[in-house]
Amino acid sequence: MSKKNLGDVMKYDAEVRISLKKGMLNPEAATIQRALALLEYQVENTSTVDLIRFQMEGNSEDAVRDEVDEMCQRLLCNPVIHDYTIEISPKEE
């Protein structure tokens, strides 16, 4: 990200939630569901979500969101098998 306007830079909290796309096998969720059944808890449609939180600086919420989206596509997720959501909010002091 280019920081040409350093006077406008703010800190933001970023949160990325990553889940498997519908139809993808989720062995972790299946194991959890089976283990809960062994403990006599009846649950269904079990899924898992990875949550990644971090802080970063940016000139605007939109600029930070764009950069986090790029991070997701390049490293944090596999867009072929994962869905993800991004939440950005100004850092509370």
What residue ranges do the domains of the chain occupy? Answer: 9-90
pLDDT (tens digit per residue) in 13-61: 999 999 999 999 999 999 999 999 999 999 999 999 999 999 999 999 9
The whole-number pLDDT of residue 7 equals: 61
Is the model's pTM score more than 0.75?
A: yes
The CATH H-level (homologous superfamily) assignment of domain 9-90 is Phosphoribosylformylglycinamidine synthase subunit PurS (3.30.1280.10)
Q: Is 54 exposed, middle or buried (0-12, 13-18, 19+ CB in 10 A)?
A: exposed
Which range is least confidently modeled, 6-10, 50-54, 80-84, 89-93? 6-10
Do 55 and 13 touch, CB atoms closer than 8 A? yes
The whole-number pLDDT of residue 8 equals: 79
Cα separation, 45 vs 21, in Å, equals 13
